[in-house]
Structure 1
């Protein structure tokens, strides 16, 4: 009986998340691409927001292989939003960081995205807003735990860490 109920909940969750992700992907394309960058480029910039990262760390954080990450970083570098720097102690390691114009653009994009989140939250009753955020945090933690056990980084034979 419990498995049937869980199966039904899983099906409903799949349908809800599928629709939610479609809507958010459209929102992201609509609000990010007008800044002449792709959603993938914006995700890279977001990862670099607090500190430079090695190409490997950046690729792992976004579940991409290094060659794909390299192409995305190339595009950001050509646009003047990111720069590469070799590790002085190990020339094989390349760090990527945001330029000042990259930081400025990311702040503008995030401001727009946060404004859209505010509009969405305003449509939810004030009493339910904290509960919605709690459930989203729990879902994110559960997905991260599931990913750690189920998935591998492209080009690797090991779990995501």
Structure 2
């Protein structure tokens, strides 16, 4: 049975998700600014601190154009936070990868994001697990 698009509960959940996303981006942008980075630069750095990847994959993960990612990586590279290296599996492909300083900066950025930590800490472990599982289910749908 499909839920009507105008179901008040569904609309309320959608609005709350939007508020959480907006608040996350605001705090991320503030944290990025303390490192003289834009929010977009910080998000690319955070992604690359997890694993090196081709810029097309970065663009796909961040849902933006590869040309935008190229410019962002260029600026991060000038700051010594990111480097380009050949892909060991295909030397024709270049990977963008966080440098050691880039990984440290990305960690400091993650550590600065407090807005969700305190409210989430008030939830029990079971409640946090349920929230995580529900969010994954929504994203996988």
- Give the TM-score band, short-chain normalised: 0.7 to 0.9
> Following TM superposition, by how much is the alpha carbon of 1:32 offset from its aligned partner in structure 2, in angstroms?
2.1
Structure 1 residue runs without a partner (length 5+): 147-161
Matches within 5 A, 1:1-161: 3-4=3-4, 7-87=7-87, 90-113=90-113, 115-122=114-121, 126=122, 128=124, 130-143=126-139, 145-146=140-141
Structure 2 residue runs without a partner (length 5+): none
Tell me the TM-score normalised to structure 2 length: 0.81
Q: Contact 2:49/2:102 (CA < 8 Å) preserved in 1?
A: no
> Following TM superposition, by how much is the alpha carbon of 1:76 offset from its aligned partner in structure 2, in angstroms?
0.7
Partners of 1:3 and 1:88 lie apart in 2 by 48
Tell me the TM-score normalised to structure 1 length: 0.73
RMSD of aligned residue pairs (Cα, Å)? 2.6
SS in 2 for 1:49: helix
* 1:119-142 per-position Cα deviation (integer Å, ceiling 9, x unaligned): 2334xxx56453144224422332
Kindly tell me the number of residue pairs found equivalent between the two proteins: 141
* 1:29-68 per-position Cα deviation (integer Å, ceiling 9, x unaligned): 2222211111211211221223211112222121122111
- Which structure carries more relative contact order (alpha carbon 8 Å, separation 6+)? 2
Partners of 2:5 and 2:78 lie apart in 1 by 52
